[in-house]
Amino acid sequence: ETGVTQSPTHLIKTRGQQVTLRCSSQSGHNTVSWYQQALGQGPQFIFQYYREEENGRGNFPPRFSGLQFPNYSSELNVNALELDDSALYLCASSRLAGGLTDTQYFGPGTRLTVL
Amino acid sequence: AQSVAQPEDQVNVAEGNPLTVKCTYSVSGNPYLFWYVQYPNRGLQFLLKYITGDNLVKGSYGFEAEFNKSQTSFHLKKPSALVSDSALYFCAVRAGSSNTGKLIFGQGTTLQVKP
């Protein structure tokens, strides 16, 4: 098991609501990435945070936003939830050094269901 | 554009037989290649990676992968499969020149090892 933790494990929301997912990174890691994994699909990159700033973003709308805190933990916020946002949300932590991101280690994920 | 293809949705092998899970990729510049495994209702577990050097990479749980630049492939292999290897396997690629951790994942291959 990695040292990456995520909360909550499961979440049910209704369309139009807002949700916040949380991630604690592995000790010694300074970078957090978030991925969305729809059922039967591979994970899709949402964004990465380094030094409390967004450091790369995938093809996701602005209603997906994030934060990174001084202790390197992170939040993913999704506003105006849509049915298609139902997915497993994975957090991955890594170390960025010398301008390059090292191996990413994933948490267990948060299963979000939007009704 | 970067992409990863895993041409087989499912691979079936008998316990004790060798296994291969196929992966081909497309990326600009030098690729960083990864294999992850996902067990039901769990996050992704890192198995191995290729950055540079020897084309044969050894990883966790007896898995290895061979990088083939001319065929743009990075197939996962194991000499003797175990029933406990049954899981969902993902190949991922990142452009070596990228300073973000953005991983592009394949669709995944389900490995079924039968006793």
Q: Look at residue B98 in the predicted model and tell me its pLDDT.
A: 67
Whether B59 has a pLDDT exceeding 70, the answer reads: yes
What is the reported pLDDT for B88?
97
Six-digit token pair at A88? 């497993």
pLDDT band at A1 (very low <50, low <70, confident <90, very high): low
From chain A, the residues in CB contact with B100 under 8 A are 48, 55-56, 101
Mean pLDDT, chain A, rounded, equals 93
Q: Which residues of A54-67 are buried (b: 16+ CB within 10 A; e: fewer)?
A: ebbebebeeebbbb
Dist CA B96 CA B98 (whole Å)? 5
pLDDT value at position A7?
A: 96
Q: What percent of chain A has pLDDT above 90? A: 80
How far A61 CA lies from chain B's nearest CA (Å)?
17
List B residues 36-65 in contact with A (Cβ-Cβ < 8 A). 36, 41-46, 49
- Count of pairs with CB atoms under 8 A, one residue in A, one in B: 70
The 8-class DSSP code of residue A72 comes to: S
Q: Nearest by CB to A94, which of B36, B101, B105?
A: B101
Scanning A14-68, the segments in alpha helix (DSSP H) are none
Q: Flag whether pLDDT at A29 surpasses 70.
A: yes
Report the residue from A31, A96, A106 with minimal CB separation from B43: A106
| Mean pLDDT over the full length of chain B | 93
Tokens 């992170």, located at residue: A74
B115 CA: distance to closest CA in chain A (Å): 25
Residue B71 CB burial class (10 angstroms; 0-12, 13-18, ≥19): exposed
Q: Is the pLDDT of residue A10 over 90?
A: yes
Output the pLDDT for position B96. Answer: 64
Question: Which of A31, A43, A100 is the closest to B105 by Cβ?
Answer: A43
Interface contact A100, partner B, CB < 8 A:
yes
Stretch among A67-81, B44-58, B93-107 having the lowest mean pLDDT: B93-107
For A96-113, write each residue's pLDDT tens digit. Answer: 877 677 899 999 999 999
Note whether B1 and B93 are within 8 A (CB). no
User: What is the DSSP code (8-state) at residue A80?
Assistant: S
Taking residues B12-26, report their average pLDDT.
97
